[in-house]
Amino acid sequence: MNKLGISLAGAALSGVVALSSATPALAGPAGADRTAPKASTVSANPQATAAVSRAQKLKRLNQLTEKYGMPLWENTRVKWQDGHDKYRFDWSTDGCSGVTDNPGGFHFWESCARHDFGYRNYKKMHEFSRAHKKRVDDSFHYDMQSVCKRQWGPYSQAQRKGCLKVAKKYYDAVRALGHL
């Protein structure tokens, strides 16, 4: 996002988080990785870096940004961290772009990182269309909703409802402020 977009998104979401009646979530698992990856994107294995066609890379990007693609994205990210990424994707992320990755204790970092992944890679391939933006944004919303359902399970309807409300506000912000 550009600086104006980040500032607007930050301001909009800061108010949402501050006004949210949701109670803080339980801490994530001990030792959970909350930082952006630092590994090289070039594999030491020469066969793993064999040329990939543009069509193959776009197909893989589509798979990694599908609504139900978070497990595949997570597995592929781990492989990248280990130095294996024959597609040479851009894995950089700033988390939730100027707003908290953990609003009200809800753990949205991975959702935001996958959203960044989709935007950055479609843009680098000059394939960032309205349809791809909507697809990535919708996957982002689905990912956050999944966090809310997993994190709270059947234990607290109020906490889950608060989490889903914050997820919707984050989604609305990227729909309105995300750039083509």
Is residue 115 flagged as an active site residue?
A: yes
Residue 134, both tokens:
């909507």
Task: Provide the token pair at 2.
Answer: 């550009």
DSSP tag of 162: H
Cα distance between residue 180 and residue 177, in whole Å? 10
Instruction: Count the Cβ atoms, other than its own, within 10 Å of residue 159.
Output: 21
Q: Out of 84, 107, 115, 179, pick the active-site residue.
A: 115
For 1-28, the DSSP string reads: --HHHHHHHHHHHHHHHHH--PPPPPP-
C-alpha 110/C-alpha 118 separation (Å) is: 12
Catalytic residue annotation = 115
